[in-house]
Every structure is written in structure tokens, then in C-alpha cells.
Amino acid sequence: MTKTGADYAWFENDFPDIAEAYCFTLVRGLSPAELTARLEGRPEAPLRGIDAVVDAAFAQYGLGDGERQLVAMTTVGDRTLLIEPNGYLGVTEDRVLPASAGAHWVSHFVNINAVGTFLWAEDRVLRLCFDPMFPEDRWGTTPDALLDVMERTGFPLDEETPEEDLSAPAAFALAEHLTGIAVTPELLRDTTFACATLRLH
């Protein structure tokens, strides 16, 4: 059964420090080390739990004039999960599409101003991209391939404004539909993440 945005409402409640601004990416076909190399990253010491990752990521912004950002990775099923606190590289097309060669890439991002992006790419081809708050404006080679699923997961595809905005948690549900990987509180809290710093520009 397809999850909905309501199934991911815990994220904002349980992890408010990262819920304000983040990018979550699930990649099939690349290990954490391979993904780090594709993104020209520099390995860093591992960290346990998303709170430690968030603290380290914000500390990183104070170093080197903010030229690099800290990211966390782990293997979940057949995917690498890449988490960027206050980051956006996972939805930056000129970085993502070359890095997705031979891989399946699903990413979603929200910033502190509630601007967001959902991106699905396969082997350097952008399949679908849209702002979760404005899902009627979509682009990519198959922009309408997931309309039924998008509606079930909670994106407002009709004219009416929903009573509750679940667009950000709906992005988690749509990513789970595409990848088969559920992000859970336990995964975020208990995982020892491989970490790296990536250049921002």
C-alpha cells in the first residue's frame, strides 16, 4: 500500500533541527564511497545519529568561508542514502545528472523558506522534477508518469488548496514508492553514518 504524507508527519515533530532545511537522496547503483567519488567529496570521520550530523554540518559552514558542506551516507537495502542538512546538491541538475550515470537517483529538498524540489533521474536522464508545493508544474522526460501515485501520496494536484500542507512529507512517501526504501526514525537516530564534505560550487 502506498504511503502518504501523513505517514511521514513524524519527521518534522521528531527531528525539527533538520526538518527546516534538508536534502534526502536515494541512489541505486553506487556505494557510499562511489557516490562520494562521483561528487568529488572528501571522506570525513563517521558520526552516529542525525543530530550529530546536523551539528557537524552547521559547524562546517563556519569553516573555509562555507565552500564545503558535510553530508552523511549509509547503505539501506540496495540504495545509498545521502543526507544533506541545509543542503541542495542532490537536486542540483548539473551535479546530479553526470553523477547518475548508470544509477537510479531520487532526491527531495526543502529550504528554510519552504522552497522545495523533487527530482528523479536515471542514467543521466532527468525523468521528473517539480516543487512539491506546486506539483502541477512538472518537467523531465516523463513528467506525468507518477500522477496517480502523486495524488495518493498527498500532493495537491487539483485546484483546491488543502487544509494542511503535506507536500514536504509527501515527498518522502513518493521517494519510498520509487525506491522501496522507507526512511524511519530509527534509521535517522541509530545509524552510524559515513560522512564526507562536498564542494558547494
Tens digit of each residue's pLDDT (9 = 90 or more) over 127-183? 999 999 999 999 999 999 999 999 999 998 876 666 678 899 999 999 999 999 999
pLDDT-derived band at 20 (thresholds 50, 70, 90) equals very high
Return mean pLDDT, the chain.
94
How far is it, in rounded angstroms, from Cα 98 to Cα 87?
19
**Which of 61-70, 135-144, 188-197 comes out lowest in average pLDDT?**
61-70
List, for residues 72-83, the tens digit of each pLDDT value: 999 999 999 999
Are 168 and 175 in contact, with CB atoms under 8 Å apart? no
Residue reference for cell 552547521:
58
**18 CB neighbour count, 10 Å cutoff:** 21
Interval 11-39 mean pLDDT: 97
How far is it, in rounded angstroms, from Cα 171 to Cα 110?
10
For residue 156, the model assigns a pLDDT of 83
Are 41 and 95 in contact, with CB atoms under 8 Å apart? no
How far is it, in rounded angstroms, from Cα 153 to Cα 170?
5
Residue reference for cell 548539473:
94
Give the cell for residue 85: 542538512
Interval 187-200 mean pLDDT: 96
Are 99 and 55 in contact, with CB atoms under 8 Å apart? no
Are 29 and 95 in contact, with CB atoms under 8 Å apart? no
Q: How many residues does the chain have?
A: 201
